[in-house]
Structure 1
Amino acid sequence: MGTATEGTAISPELAARAERDDLHTLGVEEEYLLVDAVEPRAAELVEEVFAELPADLRDVVQHEYYRSQIEVASPPQLDLGELGTALRQLRSGVAAAAERAGARLLAVGTGPAAGPNARLVDKERYHRMREHFGDLSPGPGMCGTHVHVSIPDPETGVQVLNHLRPWLPVLQAATANSPMFGGRDTGYASWRSMMWERWPTVGPTPYLRSHEHYLTLVSDLEASGAMLDEGMLYWYARLSASYPTVEIRMGDVMPTADDAVLLAALTRGLVATLVREVRAGTPAPDVAHPLLMAAHWRAAHDGLEGLNIDMATRQPRPAWRLLRQLFDYVRPELERHGDLERVSDLMGRLREDGTGAARQRALLARGASVGDLVDWLARATRSEDKHTLILDPERREDESAPS
């Protein structure tokens, strides 16, 4: 939301390999919620957590808008296994620092428990945002996932943004991980998405004629007062202002590192596929903006367990089938990047276990309290287990097993 680092700089060796083999690097940013060590309420302890961070994490951990939030940025990677290792290390390291500071780290889109609104991090930019935009995001904070995928040049990147538009609703559905807010089920799989839409520049990326058109829109939006700077361009996909990447940013933060790895891999496969279509001169689909808005609303409401809109037919279809369609579409690039086996495995687990929202609701349906839910989210966030954590509040933390 704020001025968090958009990934970290790529090493010359990795960049050379990517260029030589025509591969795409990827990186992930994740925002987390801090909650009290005992109570399920949000905890304004971000400065205390920073004080407990080991030296090797301080360059890749950032403040977010509220004092009950914190953000990490993985280094760019080519290998999906190395990305997963980096994310697990980041989650584990920040979670350990949070525990030393009297907090727990949650990978969740919104605060599940009731409590007072959080205060801003004491940065001049955040105070300017509050003064200019008012209280558009009440609560302890909204936590999302941003995936960066490298592109050859900005002009190609803009055309990739055009091609991405019909695919992003189903990817958003797969990330749904915020059904609870303020101690109650909101009826949405991603309540964060609905709260996030209050900001004036949030929404589907418009159809762009060129990179020059993109820059003109950014300038016009700043002049209008709808955003203070380019960092507040909150389209669901945009060009990075700092690195040669497209950034896909419509999803909730997901409960486990493996969930994030799956999203990143599908996103890279999609971007790589679309780069080839741009090079071949294939025109981007002309998708009506109102239909995109409807599809993103459906993603927020249903998650992956309900329906979404098939952009080819403009008719509702099971969201899971649309995600499977995306998988089949990007399969050649998954294979070319060495991701196919891993992604096939993670897709199977997602099909079996459901989204983060579905997992939370399954836990509550078994009689868990909001406190139990927060306990489970804390375990899921830092778990080294590559399979699903058990959804049973009566079982202890060290008794993980497939559900």
Structure 2
Amino acid sequence: MAADEFRSFGVEEEYLLLDAGQGTPTDLAAELVRSAPRSVAPAEREFFSSQLETATPVCRTAEEALDTLTEFRSALSREAADRGIVLAGSGLPPVGGDEAGTVTPKSRYRELGAQLRNAATYQYVTGTHVHVEIPSPDAGVEVLSRLAPWAPALLAMTANSPLWCGEPTGFASWRHVMNMSWPVAGFPPEFASGDDYAHAVEQLVGSGVLLDSGVVTWLARLSQNFPTMELRIADAQLDAEDAVCFAVLVRALVDRALRDAEAGKPRPQAAAGLVNGAIWMAARDGLEADLIDPITARAEPAFDTLERMVGSVESELRRTDDLDRVIRYCDRLRRTGGPARRQLERFEADGLAGLISLYRESSGAG
């Protein structure tokens, strides 16, 4: 990365395809992929035939990513509406999750389903994955360790799966709980170097714990194919704007982590189990209660943590001209309570029909 360039990033978005009347997952991903306009980002099938995904190109600015995702959502939502379905930005379907999902007919997905058995049967999980450029695997493991203190806040602000099988779960992100059934889950342990990380993945694959390196389902990981760190902690988002705001905040945190590492600042040290315990609490409560700092073990109101986090990368956000965007994002979260709260309020007020309308409005279908 040249000194005068912004660090590149990309966003992968996953969506659920839901019946517009019943709200249940609908196996039309292959049809939507075939019908997707060539003028938008490619549409891809996911693990279940009721899931769809896309990805931005390599981006330097928030506007690039937002244009890509907005155009994709709008175009695919129209295609979905013609077929009586809704493109939903939700971490889980609100109903129908008790029906076994239809595994996409790809050999790798079938192998994965066979390996995971019943753990894969109801994995309707959809997320927002952020990729950020890193200079090397050694730098990447520094980033992983230095993101750990902010992981609970990053989950809380993107929690968006509060309903399951027609009922509130009591969690802002039930997707996180379901993701813990994968063989490798939670925030990654600390690694001494990039080689140490690669050796750990080789052992997981070689031992048969993982089918391949693509099934490293830690909440953050290093890409095996690209010079990026991938943060997988966020649920699928209702709005493309929120997904992009989150992505540029993550980029700023990566920038800060790399600068701290280059300056020789020691990695933050958390007590054993506290990072994942604090993340679990964030998945339960979202932004509506305290968040636990995995380093100090102290709790503070969620929005105090968000203010500290944004403040810690203010110079990085100013450099990329993203500070105002991220501040507006945090103000929006404070005003609405976050996407999980928005789903719950719409469900409580208008039932399943209200939720479907929320998904439709958020996808750009009107």
TM over 0.5: yes
Deviations 1:263-295 (A, max 9, x none): 101101100011101111111111124101111
Q: Distance in 1 between matches of 2:239 and 2:184?
A: 29
Name the amino acid aligned to 1:189.
Answer: A
User: Match of 1:41?
Assistant: 24
Name the amino acid aligned to 1:204.
Answer: F
Q: Distance in 2 between matches of 1:313 and 1:282?
A: 17
The Cα shift of 1:80 comes to 1.2
User: Match of 1:355?
Assistant: 338
The Cα shift of 1:106 comes to 0.1
Higher relative contact order (CA 8 A, sep 6+): 2
The match for 1:110 among 85, 92, 108 is 92
The Cα shift of 1:118 comes to 1.8
Say if 2:270 and 2:295, in contact at 8 Å, map to a contact too: no
Say if 1:173 and 1:303, in contact at 8 Å, map to a contact too: yes
User: Match of 1:184?
Assistant: 167
Name the amino acid aligned to 1:250.
Answer: I
Say if 1:52 and 1:100, in contact at 8 Å, map to a contact too: no
User: Match of 2:57?
Assistant: 75
Q: Distance in 1 between matches of 2:78 and 2:344?
A: 27
The Cα shift of 1:311 comes to 2.8
Say if 1:112 and 1:374, in contact at 8 Å, map to a contact too: no
User: Match of 2:363?
Assistant: 381
The Cα shift of 1:381 comes to 2.2
Q: Distance in 2 between matches of 1:63 and 1:188?
A: 28
Q: Distance in 2 between matches of 1:346 and 1:36?
A: 30
Q: Summarize the alignment of residues 147-186 of structure 1 with structure 2, pairs less than 5 Å apart.
A: 147-186=130-169
- Is the counterpart of residue 88 in structure 1 residue 70 in structure 2? yes
User: Match of 1:54?
Assistant: 37
Say if 2:137 and 2:193, in contact at 8 Å, map to a contact too: no
The Cα shift of 1:313 comes to 2.4
- Is the counterpart of residue 197 in structure 1 residue 204 in structure 2? no
Aligned in 2, Cα 1:284/1:155: closer, same or farther, shift over 3 Å? Answer: same
- Is the counterpart of residue 368 in structure 1 residue 366 in structure 2? no
- Is the counterpart of residue 236 in structure 1 residue 253 in structure 2? no
User: Match of 1:261?
Assistant: 244
Name the amino acid aligned to 2:171.
Answer: Y
| DSSP 3-state at the match of 2:241 | helix
Q: Distance in 2 between matches of 1:72 and 1:286?
A: 36
Q: Summarize the alignment of residues 139-150 of structure 1 with structure 2, pairs less than 5 Å apart.
A: 139=122, 141-150=124-133
Name the amino acid aligned to 1:181.
Answer: W
The Cα shift of 1:364 comes to 2.8
Say if 1:29 and 1:72, in contact at 8 Å, map to a contact too: yes
The match for 2:210 among 227, 232, 236 is 227
The match for 1:280 among 258, 263, 273 is 263
Deviations 1:169-215 (A, max 9, x none): 11011101000011110110000110011001111111010011001
The Cα shift of 1:338 comes to 1.2
| DSSP 3-state at the match of 2:119 | coil
Name the amino acid aligned to 2:56.
Answer: S
| DSSP 3-state at the match of 2:15 | strand
Aligned residues: 365
Say if 1:48 and 1:101, in contact at 8 Å, map to a contact too: no
Name the amino acid aligned to 1:97.
Answer: E
Runs of 4+ in 1 over 4 A off after TM superposition: none
User: Match of 2:48?
Assistant: 66
- Is the counterpart of residue 126 in structure 1 residue 109 in structure 2? yes
Name the amino acid aligned to 1:276.
Answer: R
User: Match of 2:4?
Assistant: 21
Deviations 1:322-366 (A, max 9, x none): 11110000111000111112222222112111211011122233x
Aligned in 2, Cα 1:375/1:313: closer, same or farther, shift over 3 Å? Answer: same
| DSSP 3-state at the match of 2:30 | helix
The Cα shift of 1:382 comes to 2.3
What 5-or-longer segments of structure 1 have no aligned partner?
A: 1-17, 384-396, 398-403
Deviations 1:72-101 (A, max 9, x none): 101121111222111111211222222233
| DSSP 3-state at the match of 1:28 | strand
- Is the counterpart of residue 293 in structure 1 residue 276 in structure 2? yes
Q: Distance in 2 between matches of 1:55 and 1:292?
A: 42
User: Match of 1:8?
Assistant: none
| DSSP 3-state at the match of 1:55 | coil
TM-score by length of 1: 0.87
Name the amino acid aligned to 2:244.
Answer: V
| DSSP 3-state at the match of 2:172 | coil
| DSSP 3-state at the match of 1:60 | coil
Q: Distance in 2 between matches of 1:289 and 1:89?
A: 44
The Cα shift of 1:50 comes to 1.4
Deviations 1:129-156 (A, max 9, x none): 1111112144371101100111122211
Aligned in 2, Cα 1:212/1:319: closer, same or farther, shift over 3 Å? Answer: same
Say if 1:178 and 1:189, in contact at 8 Å, map to a contact too: yes
What 5-or-longer segments of structure 2 have no aligned partner?
A: none
